[in-house]
Structure 1
Amino acid sequence: MTQVRVGVFGLLGSGNLGNDGSLEAVLGYLRTEHPDAPVDALCGGPDVVTARYGIPATRLHWNRGEYRTASRAGALATKGLGKLVDVARTAAWVRRHDVVIVPGMGVLEATLPLRPWGFPYSLFLLCASGRLFGTKVALVSVGAAEIRVRPTRVLVRWAARLAAYRSYRDAQSRDAMRAMGVNTARDAVYPDLAFALPAPAATPNEGTVCVGVMDFHGGNDDRARAEEIHRRYLDGTTRFVRRLVEDGRRVRLLTGDDCDVTVVEAIIDAVDSPLVTAAETASLADLMKETASADTVVATRYHNLICALKSGTPTLALTYAAKSDALMERMGLGAYCHPAREVDADRLIEQFRDLEKHSAELRQTLAERNRAAAQHLTHQFNALTDALFPATGRTHAPRGNR
């Protein structure tokens, strides 16, 4: 029996804790079920991935300035050259593997600003190379949303079509890919991979509220109103935090990406109270510890919500996309959603007080839903073994929400 060579792919190690949490969940599965399989990564932050997870990693893009805005002729030419070089680099990396896993993440959506020649192009190169060289590419518990911008839509649709295995983190994602012309008849829906991570014991610190913030400027279709949306979000969230402080509550500000730090700093400066502090978090485990020690959580970024829900803490979501509403509904907290584009501090305080009023019963609901999510993800990993590791696969038929 030969070893199955496994690659993991994505914007990993780049400062987004949700992406890295999905990678951690997949690595846990591989190390438990396939410990002899050599694993390496093609990713955004190779040095971070190697240092944190102990696997070899290669930089996703040849051009180190890929995600910096280019205006000068030289920078534009370098970007164009990088796109051509990445065709060969990606193909060569894929060819060295039997299996490539894209762990979670919203790789098939554009709910945040996204250019077609950025990650959608990279994902297309991956899946096309996999089809060319017979490498199985698996999109595992990924997020998707229907995309209107034609170049992005085309790249994402073809990437999904060329993948050997697809599963989604919610039914809306599967429906979106079907609406964009992908045959999803054999695709499964499972919870987000972060629900496979261990959760810390709940240790509520009476009076503490975790508020997860985001450098939010709307989605891909909101570019013309991006600054207005950001200003309204920041103003509303700041007013809400100030109201909590006026009630004598301690507030811990959480982030989920490096870019969120500017929002934390703006809120701390505006409220100017020792009751408001910023949590230092380097992983989803750190975020879960913070949320587990709070009475309640109010959060925007998707994986901040997951961490709060996974830790069993009553949570109110500032939602910016259907994925957040779907997550809250699935976990039994669908009534506690508030639009991130239209943050109304007065209404948010009303919802927050109602959330705290029902805290005990919501904690019980979350405990039950978390057990079900963990069991469902066990089915997902069994299905992955059967689909990607046939020589070492199990004899059972994989189960799941087909």
Structure 2
Amino acid sequence: MTAADRAPVRVGVFGLLGSGNLGNDGSLEALLGYLRAAHPEVVVDALCGGPEAVTARFGIRATRLHWYRGEYRTASRTGAIAAKGLGKLVDVVRTAAWVRRHDVVIVPGMGVLEATLPLRPWGFPYALFLLCASGRMLRVPVALVGVGAAAIGNRPTRALVRWSARLASYRSYRDAPSRDAMRAMGVDTARDEVHPDLAFALPTPRASAPFDPSAPPGPVCVGVMDFHGGNDDRARGEEIYRRYLDGTIRFVRTLVEEGRSVRLLTGDGCDAPVVAAIRDAVDSPLVTAAELSSLADLMNEMALADTVVAVRYHNLICALKTGTPVLALCYAAKSDALMAEMGLGAYCHPARAVDADRLLEQFRALEKHAVELRATVAERTLAAGRRLDQQFTSLTAALFPARDHAQTVRKES
């Protein structure tokens, strides 16, 4: 059989993609960049949260993740509850049928094995379990690539996540704490690898001008989040949010009183109310908000700033990629691990207990050491990008083992 007679490898990508989370979409962008460069012969489509957005932005076919469109809305009426329950059964068939059409399925990055934000077991964890179980039954490799993981207290969620990981054909993690968490949950991680987050493979914008430490203080980017704690914090979610918001408002107000301009950044559509609350409370023309649609937009904003203060994990990565010193409001171990890896371990602050005075103290120390920190961040970020080559090499060996990838044979249906 000649190469012309052979069909291309069919690759499916899976996740809460196209749903407004810039970090998730950035992970997909990085994966597609690898596939198009290393395996241009593959045909890619997606099973995802926002199929229209994924198709419009990335030019690939996409299917809605859940049959029931109201999956992530709280169901209180009998009809909605029944529809949601029916959807769980329909999704068993839909997911298996989608998996069957592929040679390989990839879950690109994202915190799919964690519950560091509020998460119901029968939402995404159940969908991920269906994917991995279908892959195992139909002998289609499912790869969890550069994913985040964390210890999970809720039993149903923990069970679904553990079995999803066990059923996957390939696993790699974006940090060592993620691998440790899966090992603690009973997953054999002996052959699992740790690589930098996929977003480190994205293009970095050119700086408009070199940093000048003698220039007057410049703008500060503040990345915000609709933060109510994690899955185990539901009872005190409003208290956590109030403390986070009040501390952030005090911090921004102090910067404005000192004549600093503040640019508010988001990472998900749900963060917009936090931006509005800060702008209303501070009420100054020095506080503006950016319109963002990608991690590239985030990086372009951060490249113009002297300093970044941010909560969301991929906000931190964007700051690091531009070489801008960043102070992290940490809500999970992944943020602390990232900051330590990048030489910024001293510039972490708990998002659950924002103390504006302490935050300002850390911020001033960050700016005082800006020159040396910029050099450290630039060096380590470049190294992270180079280490991602190992991730892609490993992925090729695991999922595309044929010597001539363009001649991989389509499986018999």
TM-score (norm 2): 0.94
Q: Note the alpha carbon deviations across 1:169-217, whole angstroms, 9 max, x for none.
A: 0000000000000000000000000000011122369510000000000
| Unmatched tracts of structure 1, length 5 or more | 395-402
Alignment partners' CA distance in 2, 1:124 and 1:349: 43
Alignment partners' CA distance in 1, 2:268 and 2:325: 22
1:393 offset after TM fit, Å? 6.7
1:234 is aligned to 2:239? no
| 2:202 aligned partner | 197
Q: How does 1:43-54 map to 2 (within 5 A)?
A: 43-54=48-59
Residue number among 113, 117, 125 corresponding to 1:112 in the alignment:
117
Residue number among 228, 244, 267 corresponding to 2:255 in the alignment:
244
1:138 is aligned to 2:149? no
Q: Which has the higher contact order (CA 8 A, sep 6+)?
A: 2
Aligned-partner residue type, residue 196 of structure 1? A
RMSD: 1.0
Alignment partners' CA distance in 2, 1:376 and 1:97: 29
**Secondary structure of the residue that 1:100 maps to in structure 2?**
strand
Alignment partners' CA distance in 1, 2:196 and 2:32: 17
| 1:57 aligned partner | 62
Residue number among 228, 248, 253 corresponding to 2:264 in the alignment:
253
1:382 is aligned to 2:393? yes
Q: How does 1:116-265 map to 2 (within 5 A)?
A: 116-203=121-208, 207-265=218-276
Change (3 A) 1:266 1:81: same
Residue number among 88, 97, 103 corresponding to 2:93 in the alignment:
88
Alignment partners' CA distance in 2, 1:349 and 1:156: 38
Alignment partners' CA distance in 2, 1:365 and 1:229: 33
**Secondary structure of the residue that 1:326 maps to in structure 2?**
helix
Q: Note the alpha carbon deviations across 1:76-112, whole angstroms, 9 max, x for none.
A: 0000000000000000000000100100000000000
Aligned-partner residue type, residue 240 of structure 1? F
Aligned-partner residue type, residue 114 of structure 1? L
Alignment partners' CA distance in 2, 1:320 and 1:392: 44
Aligned-partner residue type, residue 157 of structure 2? T
Alignment partners' CA distance in 1, 2:361 and 2:108: 37
Q: Identity, % of aligned pairs? A: 79
**Secondary structure of the residue that 2:71 maps to in structure 1?**
coil
1:148 offset after TM fit, Å? 1.0
1:310 offset after TM fit, Å? 1.1
Q: Is the 8 A contact 1:202 1:312 kept in 2?
A: no
Q: Is the 8 A contact 1:99 1:136 kept in 2?
A: yes
| 2:365 aligned partner | 354
Alignment partners' CA distance in 2, 1:312 and 1:201: 11
Q: Is the 8 A contact 1:50 1:57 kept in 2?
A: yes
Q: Is the 8 A contact 1:10 1:42 kept in 2?
A: yes
| Unmatched tracts of structure 2, length 5 or more | 212-216, 406-413
Alignment partners' CA distance in 2, 1:360 and 1:202: 15
| 1:335 aligned partner | 346
Aligned-partner residue type, residue 4 of structure 1? V
TM-score (norm 1): 0.97
1:371 offset after TM fit, Å? 1.3
Alignment partners' CA distance in 1, 2:332 and 2:201: 23
Alignment partners' CA distance in 2, 1:134 and 1:335: 47
Aligned-partner residue type, residue 149 of structure 1? N
Report the more deviating stretch, 178-187 or 367-376: 367-376
| 2:324 aligned partner | 313
Alignment partners' CA distance in 2, 1:71 and 1:280: 34
Q: Note the alpha carbon deviations across 1:312-365, whole angstroms, 9 max, x for none.
A: 100000000000000000011000000001111111111000000000000100
Aligned-partner residue type, residue 257 of structure 1? D
Aligned-partner residue type, residue 104 of structure 2? V
Alignment partners' CA distance in 2, 1:364 and 1:273: 33
Structure 1 segments, 4+ long, off by >4 Å, are: none
Residue number among 11, 14, 31 corresponding to 1:9 in the alignment:
14
Aligned-partner residue type, residue 360 of structure 2? I
Alignment partners' CA distance in 2, 1:366 and 1:112: 28
1:391 offset after TM fit, Å? 1.2
Q: Is the 8 A contact 1:6 1:101 kept in 2?
A: yes
**Secondary structure of the residue that 2:402 maps to in structure 1?**
helix
Q: Is the 8 A contact 1:385 1:392 kept in 2?
A: no
